[in-house]
Amino acid sequence: MKKYRVIGLMSGTSMDGLDIAYCEFSFSGNKWKFRIVKGTTIAYNTRICKRLAGAGKAPALELALTHSWFGSWMGKQVQSFVQKHGLKPDLISSHGHTVFHQPQKGLTLQIGCGASLSAISGTDTVCDFRTTDVALGGQGAPLVPIGDELLFPEYDYCLNLGGFANVSFSKKGKRLAFDICPANIVLNHLSESLHLPYDKDGCIARSGKLNRPLLNKLNRAAYYSSTGPKSLGREWVNQHVIPLLERSKLPTADQLRTYTEHIAEQISKKLGSAPPHVLATGGGVYNLFLMERIAALSGISIRQPDDKLIRFREALIFAFLGVLRIRNETNSLKSVTGASRDSVGGCLYSAGTQSAL
């Protein structure tokens, strides 16, 4: 039985920081086992947030420099993390930071140079997981469902409440998944207008008033009635959500209250007939008001795991995608993304040292 020691890196669209998770995986009896040994989140300061947020509108040279800089920066964070805890990872597996996601145009871009990350950390690195699937006609997202299927088979639904809310489940022997709606990416945007990084526990939203006309407009977005593989990106939020909120002229508390209801309604529609075994993770789980509204509208008691899994599930699964990549096993499912076939995604960068893998 081989054990894989992998560091998973996740930088989400909500831009709260870089999640680093040192994980161990083993395969025995046709079943995967895992353990999150250590985890931390390196919060992004104002300078980093500004650079990452502006990457999508930067000139080509500046974007290329940001790609290189972010890979080097992540390499230094991993190096410090490893030294602090006395760890010996075999592999780093990095999601990178999404700048563009327009699969309908054959485009998805996650920055964070793998060569720089590998060279500085001194560890073999896998990154760029989405582009192969997009090249095969898929959405390039979500990729987490293969991890849900193999690491959490006891759950009927796996719900993630991150920058975007997404769900993963099996139906008639196939794994299905999709982005449900924008979540923390919008809630945090509204909170920042109050000079807060986020709405702690959903307290501001709880104090606001629900505005039905705005809620109805949010719910009428064509994306929610579309079927088949689908995913969302920041571009969609900027085009379809932010203008509605701005034109409403409502107090921020009312916008937060109404958008929280929107998230809860969209999620409850997807979980309305679900069995009770629902796993919820991601930063949105800490939003007590949001979780109350989801429970009230869906009528389902949602399982919240231990803190490590809530915070680091995505980093854990991207670490696992790296393991599947070096084993040359499928880590992107056509049933989820709509690609022409299942694929093995990810670019491998060697650190130039002897690998334990």
On whether both 28 and 82 belong to a single domain, the answer is yes
Cα-flanking dihedrals φ and ψ of residue 236, to 5°? -65, -40
| Sign of torsion over alpha carbons 161, 69, 357, 133 | positive
- CATH code for the domain in which residue 71 is found: 3.30.420.40
CA distances from 323 to 26, 35, 71, 258, 330 (A): 10, 14, 20, 41, 10
On whether both 298 and 322 belong to a single domain, the answer is no
Distance in angstroms (rounded) separating the CA atoms of residues 357 and 354: 9
On whether both 166 and 298 belong to a single domain, the answer is yes
On whether both 93 and 226 belong to a single domain, the answer is no
Q: 337, 323, 349: which is closest to 135 by C-alpha?
A: 337
Determine, yes or no, domain membership for 149: no
Distance in angstroms (rounded) separating the CA atoms of residues 48 and 54: 10
Distance in angstroms (rounded) separating the CA atoms of residues 45 and 197: 11
Distance in angstroms (rounded) separating the CA atoms of residues 66 and 123: 21
On whether both 295 and 318 belong to a single domain, the answer is no
Determine, yes or no, domain membership for 256: yes
Q: How many residues does the chain have?
A: 357
On whether both 226 and 344 belong to a single domain, the answer is no
On whether both 294 and 161 belong to a single domain, the answer is yes
DSSP string, 173-216: TEEEEEEEEE-HHHHHHHHHTTT-SS-GGGHHHHHS---HHHHH
Task: Give percent helix, percent strand, percent coil of the chain, each to the nearest 5.
Answer: 45, 25, 30
Q: Which domain holds residue 224?
A: 156-302
Residue ending a domain, among 281, 302, 323, is: 302
DSSP state of 343: B
Put residue 89 in one of left, alpha, beta given phi > 0 → left and psi -120 to 50 → alpha: beta
Distance in angstroms (rounded) separating the CA atoms of residues 223 and 269: 14
Q: Give the per-residue pLDDT at 297.
A: 92
On whether both 170 and 93 belong to a single domain, the answer is no
On whether both 126 and 216 belong to a single domain, the answer is no
Q: Give the per-residue pLDDT at 353.
A: 64
Determine, yes or no, domain membership for 296: yes
On whether both 279 and 229 belong to a single domain, the answer is yes
Determine, yes or no, domain membership for 151: no
On whether both 8 and 103 belong to a single domain, the answer is yes
Determine, yes or no, domain membership for 38: yes
Q: Give the per-residue pLDDT at 14.
A: 74
On whether both 106 and 172 belong to a single domain, the answer is no
Distance in angstroms (rounded) separating the CA atoms of residues 187 and 202: 9
Number of domains forming the structure of the chain: 2
Rg (CA), the chain: 20
pLDDT tens for the chain, 357 residues: list them.
589 999 999 998 778 899 999 999 999 888 999 999 999 999 999 999 999 999 999 999 999 999 999 999 999 999 999 999 999 999 999 999 999 999 999 999 999 999 999 999 999 999 999 999 999 999 998 899 999 999 999 898 999 999 999 999 988 889 999 999 999 999 999 999 999 999 999 999 999 999 999 999 999 999 999 987 888 988 999 999 999 999 999 999 999 999 999 999 999 998 866 566 889 998 999 999 999 999 999 888 787 888 999 999 999 999 999 999 999 999 999 999 999 999 999 999 998 765 656
